[in-house]
Structure 1
Amino acid sequence: MKKAIWVSLSLSVLFLFAATVLAAETPVKGGTLTWGRGGDSVTLDLAQATDGESIKAGIQILENLVMFKKDSMDVEPQLATSWEVSKDGLVWTFKLRKGVKFHDGTPFNAHAVKVSFERVISKDHPFHKYGTWRYPALGLGPVKEVKVIDEYTVALRTEKPYAPLVANLALWLCPILSPTAIEKYKEEIGRNPVGTGPFKFVKWVKDDQIILERNEDYWGQKPHLDRIFLKAIPEVSARYMALQSGAIDIADDLDPDSIQMAKSNPNFNVIERPSINVGYLAMNTKKPLLSNKLVRQAFNHAIDKQTIVKTIFRGLAIPAKNPFPPSIWGYNDKIVDYEYNVQKAKDLLAKAGYPKGFDIELWAMPVSRGYMPEPVKTAELIQGYLAAVGINAKIVR
């Protein structure tokens, strides 16, 4: 049996490609899949999720009105079957799929959509207090009213025309959950998710594994698998060794070295795809030094992104020149990237009033991710580039 590895990478410094290593066999009904991933989930109520590990597990359980197509960012129906927009661009009306049930046996309908959305956007909703809504602007933020037209028709009203709304609704942040379950579990809904997806939540052993089982009443194509075990294996080397030993069937977010080894192993399939992640160096512009545009420009010219792509990502990335990757709608390929130019960086620092540079703290991520497989080594490279233009960066972990 062949094993699988997924790889997914990116940086503001770079855009990366995703890959997964898995076992290759013809699908048959039954059996289990053990998925080794880089950490545990934080919540399975995806409207509250801000991390990838929560999303990986949650999208097996919860569904949205619409979803992105398999190989693009184009939108297609999921729990909605169709939609239309009013002439003034303010009202989006969705026709809902009939005969769908939540995992607790309650019906999916327009009321469920209203409850799931209003708990996020309305501070007056009785369920609003049960969650922490960190990214409303990315999802339901433009929606000002959710109106039930009939049992299987719901309308969303925005204050002004907002063309990307249907794409927002495909994001993980806009799931439809069972209103009965939200009322029952309250603040604990994130540990007891009840959706309409192909898999049902069974058990969560914190920092170990999440267990899901096939939804026999699923409205769409039923999954082949009986169960999925999502194992938290934070160390990349341990995740790869577990794949080699057969303890897991899939390993994702591996480092570039492990990916290269997997490619040379005939028992592994490495699945690569363009990533929608971007890794980046964030600058706190509330700090006086970094509020100066010339200083920020100097940083960009001081760092050799192409070398980082080659050494840290082993070519599984491209330098970023947009805040999002080429796979995202709106990407502008006409933008000219900052060139790596040490002298230009020094000149900009001098013009900004820092001819001798300055001291600064450089924070490195405490854990590795697909878009930042070796955060400390990356920070050390950046530290060296900054030192060459007079900036003394102290790495903080």
Structure 2
Amino acid sequence: MRGAPLALSRRSFLVGSAVTAGALAVGCGSGGGAASDTFTAAFQGSGAGEGIDPGVNTLFIDEARMKAVYDGLFEVDSAMAPIPRLAESGEPNADGTHWRIALRDARWHDGKQFTARDVLYTLSRVLGPAPQRPFIAASSLDQVDLPGCRAVDDRTVEIALKQPSFEFLIALSVYGTKVVPDGATDFRRPVGTGPFVFESFEAGRQFTAVRNEHYWGGAPEIGALRIVSAEADARVNAVQGGEIDYADNLTPSAARTLQGRPGISVVSTPHSGIYFFAMKTDRPPFDNPDVRRAVMRMVDRAELLKVALQGQGEISNDVFGKGYQYYADLPQHEYDPDEVGRLLRRAGVRDLSFDLFTAPVAYGFVEAARLFADQAAACGVRVNVVLGSKDSYYTDALETGHLTMGQSGPLPIPNHFASRLLTGAPQNRTKWSDPEFDRLYATAQATRSPEARAEKYRTMHEILHDRGGFIFFATTNWHSAAGERFDRLPTAVPNSHDWARFDQVRVR
């Protein structure tokens, strides 16, 4: 997820082109579930951009389908800590350069036994050439020394690393690491080990699957799962009208509209969406750490949350991962125009002016940008809000401009460091490059004790909190709504194992 890329991946909260509400009118698939035993869930769609290859497809709706069909060796819980799935356990050697993974007794949907060969093939697929689209997990698994990996036996695999890492299980938990069968190349009719067996898929419309009676985790209680693509308004209308059983990712206003409606339950999961400004630290004016410190004090986080995000969430403090493993609780940055002036004078900067590049790609982006411009003006700084194309914004924002915006989903903090902040990281939106930071990360990875690693990560957070390029100003809730026919619905943060998993759902 991500690791997970910051915003182009399914770990970010942004999806592509519009999908009409007509997707909701498509009939249920055939197969193992009668109409009363079929659970229908609606997610934000992206038309032809959707897919079902776990190595390359990145949208939230893609991940919901993949959770039904596939399993990973490990996944992360709501605190972003790894938990075993197809793996029963994972143990490092003394120096953290080899990991021995004990595998679960599981079978593929076609009846074949899951073995170590499937794991080795999945790793080689991710790390090998990708002729059309890059594999999501390629950067996270880059530390794997593929020639040194081996199958000890059918139920044991040994993974060699290029350098020590006692956090390697996190790399095996990121999106793009779900295990596929040895030799699999055609994903039009995917075969997995997951709780549901693939039946049909039409990009931009619907996916259907039926209960896996032999699932290693226990057969689901529902007979069939249907996942449909729909825009936000269509999801709200459909769950109200009983056309669907579950609507994912609702806006705050939609959640308020549905709250208290007879036969509808609304769940709001905190620490699910992470809003930020990103200063490019490799170019003026943000190559000066005092200017970055000044901008951190230029943001009235409470006002941004209240006005631009309708009060739905909590203020943040310029470090990533509130509520997750390894989060550093540091003194809160406050809006302070006087301190802004002092820091800019120390930096030797007068009449500061810069562009803020944004686009209407997520709820509240443009409103937050304009409100921040007003806050900066009260500090004597001019911010020019520049609107980009929503279709190409996140690609453009990697290189364009000096200050940009973004929104991230949850992911493990070490993965956030590796994918976004190490020198040369693939999603380094702030162009951050700090030798001390890089050394601390490498040392943390090679440190066996979790407590000692946490201290290294705290120091890295302190560096970012003092002079980093990210301004994380709010965490928002993730809203979902469901009808009353089913219970035991998922309520976890996005990107975690329990998010969008429907194998525990049952008819009331």
Matched-pair contact (CA < 8 Å) for 2:137–2:175 = no
Counterparts of 1:32 and 1:91 in 2: how far apart (Å)?
44
TM superposition score normalised by structure 1: 0.79
Q: 1:317 corresponds to which letter in structure 2?
A: G
CA drift of 1:81 comes to 2.0
Deviations 1:216-238 (A, max 9, x none): 3322211122222222223x333
Secondary structure of the 2:208 match is strand
Q: 1:225 aligns with which of 222, 227, 240?
A: 222
CA drift of 1:339 comes to 1.1
Give the equivalent residue in structure 1 for 2:138: 136
More off after superposition, 261-270 vs 55-64: 261-270
Deviations 1:19-45 (A, max 9, x none): xxxxxxxxx996222212222364433
2:403 aligned with 1:395 = no
Counterparts of 1:283 and 1:166 in 2: how far apart (Å)?
31
2:109 aligned with 1:103 = yes
2:204 aligned with 1:207 = yes
2:85 aligned with 1:88 = no
Counterparts of 1:320 and 1:360 in 2: how far apart (Å)?
23
Distance 1:295 1:219, change over 3 A: same
Distance 1:376 1:34, change over 3 A: farther
Secondary structure of the 2:271 match is strand
Q: Which sections of structure 1, spanning at least 5 residues, go unmatched?
A: 1-10, 12-27
Q: 1:293 corresponds to which letter in structure 2?
A: P
Give the equivalent residue in structure 2 for 1:294: 290
Give the equivalent residue in structure 1 for 2:61: 53
Counterparts of 1:68 and 1:170 in 2: how far apart (Å)?
6
Secondary structure of the 1:136 match is coil
Counterparts of 2:152 and 2:360 in 1: how far apart (Å)?
47
Counterparts of 1:358 and 1:169 in 2: how far apart (Å)?
43
Q: How does 1:213-362 map to 2 (within 5 A)?
A: 213-234=210-231, 236-321=232-317, 323-333=319-329, 335-362=330-357
Give the equivalent residue in structure 2 for 1:37: 43
Matched-pair contact (CA < 8 Å) for 1:276–1:327 = no
Matched-pair contact (CA < 8 Å) for 1:321–1:337 = yes
Q: How does 1:363-374 map to 2 (within 5 A)?
A: 363-366=358-361, 368=362, 373-374=363-364
State the number of aligned residues: 351
Matched-pair contact (CA < 8 Å) for 2:208–2:224 = yes
Give the equivalent residue in structure 1 for 2:399: none
Give the equivalent residue in structure 1 for 2:397: none
2:183 aligned with 1:193 = no
Q: 2:120 corresponds to which letter in structure 1?
A: K
CA drift of 1:137 comes to 3.6
Secondary structure of the 2:351 match is coil
2:172 aligned with 1:177 = no
Q: 1:154 corresponds to which letter in structure 2?
A: V
Counterparts of 1:121 and 1:181 in 2: how far apart (Å)?
15
2:118 aligned with 1:112 = yes
Q: 1:85 corresponds to which letter in structure 2?
A: P
Aligned CA-pair RMSD: 2.7
Matched-pair contact (CA < 8 Å) for 1:277–1:325 = no
CA drift of 1:269 comes to 1.5
CA drift of 1:149 comes to 0.9
Matched-pair contact (CA < 8 Å) for 2:126–2:137 = no
Counterparts of 1:272 and 1:292 in 2: how far apart (Å)?
39
Q: 1:151 corresponds to which letter in structure 2?
A: D
CA drift of 1:316 comes to 3.0
Secondary structure of the 2:286 match is helix
More off after superposition, 258-267 vs 147-156: 258-267
Distance 1:218 1:267, change over 3 A: same
Distance 1:86 1:225, change over 3 A: same
Q: 2:152 corresponds to which letter in structure 1?
A: I
Give the equivalent residue in structure 1 for 2:75: 67
Q: 1:97 corresponds to which letter in structure 2?
A: R
Counterparts of 2:307 and 2:228 in 1: how far apart (Å)?
29
Identity, in percent, stands at: 26
Matched-pair contact (CA < 8 Å) for 1:30–1:226 = no
Counterparts of 2:190 and 2:277 in 1: how far apart (Å)?
34
Give the equivalent residue in structure 2 for 1:24: none
Counterparts of 1:276 and 1:158 in 2: how far apart (Å)?
32
